[in-house]
Amino acid sequence: MRTFIAVELDPKIKSALSELIDRLSPKDADVKWVKKQGMHITLKFLGEVPETKIQDIIYSLRKACDSLDSFQLCFRGTGFFPPKNKLPRVLWAGIEQSPHLAILHERIEVELGKLGFLREKRSFHPHLTLGRVKSSKNINALLEELEKHRETNFGRMKAEKVALIKSTLKPAGAEYDILSEIQLK
């Protein structure tokens, strides 16, 4: 099964980001927008995992989260990957630097590494994916609108739990099922 580890979002944050998508989508660019119910902060993508390994992953995730306190996250600004002069592939909303989120991410990398999951080669840049660009159709108008929200504050939330999530790819988009949630202190 296809799995990943993430922080689920507060409904108010999901609503604020959905409103942003509602302002961006009339630009009629060729973008597959993230649905409100699918918004999350990915901490580690695990990929295809045999069902027999799920309990080991949950145990490692509990170890990674052990003794960590819940913490605040602030969602601010917008941008895209890769940088300018190339066709963007991902449109995102930013998450302000959080030492707590960085520590959580590092502990997950260490514990899952013990199970044979490779460490991500790129450095951790937390963000929330808003959409994936499919072609250059109307991209300039969309990027102009996205730029208007470069400093927008989308709200704060308390990160209180980490989830192991199953992702099932369907023609209408991915469907997510929470396999386990680990509560932070």
Write out the catalytic residue numbers: 40, 127
Q: Which amino acid is at 170?
A: K
Closest among 51, 20, 24, 28 to 166, alpha carbons compared: 51
Return d(Cα 65, Cα 180) in angstroms, integer: 13
What does the angle CA 127 – CA 96 – CA 109 come to, to the nearest 5 degrees?
A: 55
Which DSSP string corresponds to 22-42? HHHGGG--SEEEPPGGG-EEE
**How many other C-beta atoms lie within 10 A of the C-beta of residue 52?**
7
Return d(Cα 28, Cα 91) in angstroms, integer: 15
